[in-house]
Structure formats: structure tokens, C-alpha cells
Chain A
Amino acid sequence: MNCRSCHFVDEFAALTALGGSKRTYTDFAVRSPIPSRPDGKLTAPRNSPPLVNPSLNRPGGPLFHFDGEFSTLEDLVVETFTGRNFGWLSRQKAEAIHHIAQVMRGDDGTGAIATMFDGLSYRILFTGSNPNIPDELRLPPEFRVLIGSARDQEIFDAVVKVVAAYVNGLRFSQADDAGRPIRSPFDVFLTRNGLPQQPNSGETPLAYSRRLLTLVNGLASPQFVTTNPNRGNGLFQFHTQPFAFGAAELAGLMIFLREPSPPPTASPVEVAAGQIGNCLACHAAPDFTDFKLHNTRIAQDEYDGIHGNGSFMALTIPAFATRTSNDLPATEDHPTATEFFRSIPAWPILR
């Protein structure tokens, strides 16, 4: 088990049964499998979240993991490396940290994974200054640790910091290897028609989206996109569909951006007339997301399917002041917690 065991990229790209596609560091499972341990759990509550772009800046700061339980990548890495996904039970955090430190101390660079990265031991690699380290692996001082003399926690902290930095760097590129910009047909359409690609300073995404609709409505002769100007063959680099933003796409954009008057509820007349998507209520440009966690009813429908219609809504959710440790995830601080609110509906601990 390692991070990549559930956060795939192209491991299964050759399997046409799975669509032959790459993953953005996620898996194909409904719920990701976890190591078998005495607690009887065999899957995580959900499948592995994608790791490309989750650390982008957003209003209120990022939230990570299944239910947004972490606000920093470092906290996420700590709980993953010492938690149930890696096979550690809730009372084993200290043991996990000691084990990881021992691995770091004992690694001599001869393992199969180490040899893919120049075959240096972690002891050498984390000095940052050893002359045998190739420059592309030479850690800046803030990431270094002297593994031979450091305490378990210091070694573990260094591991966490470096892994968090790696995940933080997983972003969709804005340029290809040749330096040419990677743009969607929508991006090219905006450019070709002199439309703004970003909100003005201080402008909210919603206000920008509304302004964009006004400007699009004012286009007398829209200039459509039929080819990718940033690639010689005029195509997408990784997709087979045509690189196009034409009349149909423009009509779709306008439906996407139109709102009821007044928002958010459409009148019967508006419903009958159609053409109002109100998508921007949650998918405002330019990010086309509100970066929030939503109840998409998947868990609710599953729960009701097992326990009866309406049973999910009948659950009592304790407030912050009234919740007990039993309501929280099982951790070293609350090792016997039932993890009720992250439970899979079919698990017997549900009440």
C-alpha cells in the first residue's frame, strides 16, 4: 500500500474496459479498498479524491479529503500515513510514526522504488548537500533533515512536508512541453471576441459571469472557433473530439449563464420558455466551481435505500457544542469513536 495504490494516473490506460483513459490521481472504485485489519473494514467511505488542482487558492481556503476534514495538505498526509488507509488502527499513530522513521533510517537506496530515483538512500537524499545527490533531487534547506540524528517526529515531519509539496504541485499545466499555451475552445472564443477571461479586481465570479453574459449578448458577429491555434494540426493534444466553439456551443454558454429574474427561482413563464440554465449559481466563471462541499444525495439515497425513505433526513446531527467524541472520526484522541458521520450506510454501527 502506498499513495499511488489508490491515486492512479496511467496504470490502467491500456485497459479498454476502463475507457483506456488516464486518471487525475483517483481510482475506479465506488469505495477505495483499504487493508484488512481486525476492525473488519475493507473500504474507505468513498473512492480516492483526485489530486490534480485541489490545492488551488479559493475563498475561505482549501478543504481536503472525503468530507473536507483537513484544511492543509500536511494534515491530510499525516492522517493518511498514520491512519486506517495505510492499515494503522486508531491507537497506532505513535507506532506508525516510529515505523516510518525506521524505514527512512534503514533505507539504503537499493529497493525497487529507490532505484527509479537515482538509488540514493533517504539518509543521503534528505541531507540536501551530499555531493552524490543530482541537482534535480537536491532539497532546499527547509525540507532537509539529518535522519541519522533526528527524532522520529522530526523525520516524520520532513516526510510529510515533502509529500505535501509534491501533491501541491499537481496542477494542470497552462503550457505544453514546447511552451505553447494550452487553451480550451471556450478560452480561444473569449480571446477571439475580445471578451474578458478573468474578473476585474474586486469583482466576484458571479458578477463576472453576469457581465460576460451581457457582453456575449452584445456580440453582433461572434467569431467562432474551428481549430486549435496553439497546435500545428489544429486539434486537441489529448482528445479526439473536434476543437470547436461554434453556434451550438455559444447557445449552450448563454443557457449556462442565464438566470431567472429574479434569481434563484424561475417563474412558471420562464420555466415554460426554457433557455435558463442558472448553472452559474454554483458554477460561476472563470473557475466554474464554487469550491464548496455539497450534498449530492448519493449518500442520502443509499442510506434511505437501506433504512427506508426519509430515514436520512430523520438523523439527528449534533451541533458543535453538543457533539461528543463518539461522533468524531476514530483517532488516537478518540480511539473508540464510531465514526458515525463518515460511516458507510450498510455498516452495522449506524444508529
Chain B
Amino acid sequence: MFPFNCRSKAFRQLVGRSSWVFLSILFIGCGGGSGSSPQSSVAATGTPGAEGSVGERLFVEASFAQFFKAHLNAGGNVNDALPASDPIVAPAIQS
């Protein structure tokens, strides 16, 4: 597997979703008066922007490829690390 850095560390020029998420949490957390706890409120509504964070994990999910399917067909488990990565990943920096 190639090195991975979370987006906020890897590309600081990009939109800082984390601050947006923080403000959203703060807003939701301060929204009283409904009789429900802040925790249950967030559980019901979710956190705006969380789809970006979950999407980032799916963006680097290596198990969706046909190469991994071949690994499963050979008796592998979904949660196993591949014994050898797809060789096609190695030459990706060719000029």
C-alpha cells in the first residue's frame, strides 16, 4: 500500500472541512430547547460534511478492485491485507 495522508494534512490549500465540521457540531450542540440531548440530535441529523470524511476513506479503499476480488476468490478474507499489491500501482510515477 502506498503512503497515505489524511486530506487535511496532505493538502492544506484545500477547503478546511474540519473547521466547517467543528462549527456545525458547535451549532448543533448549542441548539437546545427541543428536549432531546445534543448527542441524539447529532445522531439523527448527522454532521454536515461528514460525507466528505467518509468519502475520503472510500477514495483510498483498495478492496473494490478486481485484483482484490481475485484475492477473495483464492480464499482470502475481506479484512486481510493483500500478500502482494497490484503490480500496476508500482510504475505510476513513470514520466
* Chains A and B come from one and the same complex: yes
Please determine whether A113 and B4 come into contact, CB atoms closer than 8 angstroms.
Answer: yes
* A53 to chain B: closest residue by CB: B14
CB contacts under 8 Å to A, within B52-88, are: 52-69, 72, 77-79, 81, 86-88
Q: Is the CB of A2 within 8 A of B14?
A: no
Per-position 1/0 for A9-48, Cβ under 8 A of B? 1111001001000101001111011111100001000000
Q: Bound complex: CA of A189 vs CA of B53, how far in Å? A: 36
Pairwise interchain contact B93-A12, C-beta atoms closer than 8 A: yes
Of A167-175, A206-214, A221-229, A262-270, which binds chain B?
A167-175
- Write the chain A residue with the least CB distance to B6: A116
The chain A residue sitting closest to B80, CB to CB, is A111
Alpha-carbon separation in the docked complex, A33 to B90 (Å): 9
CB distance from A177 to the nearest CB of B (A): 6
Partner of B2, one of A4, A96, A176: A4
| Contact residues, A109-156 vs B (CB, 8 A) | 110-114, 116-117, 125-126, 128-129, 131, 135-141, 143-144
The CA of A35 and the CA of B60, in the complex, are separated in Å by 16
Q: Is the CB of A10 within 8 A of B91?
A: no
B95 close to A140 (CB less than 8 A): no
Contact in complex: B79, A9 (CB < 8 Å): no
Interface residues of chain B: helix, strand, loop or mixed (majority): helix
* Distance, CA A11 to CA B88, complexed state (A): 16
Check if A37 sits within 8 Å of B60, measured CB to CB.
no
Complex CA–CA separation, A47 to B60 (angstroms): 18
Cβ distance A133 to chain B, nearest Cβ, rounded Å: 8
- Least CB distance, B26 to chain A, in whole angstroms: 11
Most buried by B among A4, A139, A161: A4
CA distance A182 to B16 in the complex (A): 13
A97 to chain B, nearest CB (A): 10
Q: Tell whether B43 is near chain A: CB-to-CB under 8 Å.
A: yes
Contacts A29-B93, A29-B94, A169-B17 known; A22 to B50 CB distance under 8 Å? no
Q: Could you tell me how many residues of chain B have their Cβ less than 8 Å away from some Cβ of chain A?
A: 62
Residues of B close to A9: CB separation below 8 A: 5, 7, 10-11
* Chain B nearest CB, measured from A228 CB (Å): 15
- Name the one of B18, B63, B72, B92 contacting A136, with C-beta atoms under 8 angstroms: B18
Residue of A whose beta carbon sits closest to that of B87: A36
| Interface 9-mer from A100-108, A197-205, A251-259, A318-326 | A100-108
Query: Are B57 and A116 in contact (CB-based, < 8 A)?
Result: yes
Contacts of A165 in B (CB 8 A): 51-52, 55
How far, in Å, is B44 (CB) from chain A's closest CB? 7
The residues of B that contact A110 with a CB separation of less than 8 Å are 79
Shortest beta-carbon distance, B60 to chain A, in Å? 5
Given contacts A29-B93, A29-B94, A140-B45, contact A117 B57 (CB under 8 A): yes
A99 contacts across to B, CB distance below 8 A:
64, 66, 68-69, 72
- Chain A residues closer than 8 Å to B92, beta-carbon distance: 5-6, 8, 27-29, 32-33
B30 at the interface (CB under 8 A from A): no
Assess whether B64 is in contact with A35, with CB atoms less than 8 Å apart.
Answer: no
A264-299: which residues lie under 8 A (CB-CB) from chain B? none
Q: Chain B contacts of A33 at CB under 8 A?
A: 88-89, 91-92, 94
Asked if residues A35 and B16 are in contact (CB atoms below 8 Å), the reply is no
Complex formed: what's the CA distance from A321 to B32 in Å? Answer: 60
Complex Cα distance, B87 from A205, in Å, reads 46
A140 to B89, CA, bound (A): 34
Q: Determine whether the beta carbon of B57 is less than 8 Å from that of A4.
A: no
Measured between C-beta atoms, what is the minimum distance from B30 to chain A in Å?
A: 14
Residues of A within 8 A of B (CB): 1-12, 15, 18, 22, 24, 27-30, 32-37, 42, 52, 81, 86-88, 92, 95-96, 99-100, 102-103, 106-108, 110-114, 116-117, 125-126, 128-129, 131, 135-141, 143-144, 159, 161-167, 169-173, 175-177, 182, 237-238
> Can you list 14 A-B contacts (CB < 8 A)?
A29-B92, A29-B93, A35-B65, A35-B88, A86-B66, A100-B64, A102-B72, A112-B81, A136-B53, A137-B47, A138-B50, A139-B50, A162-B54, A237-B13
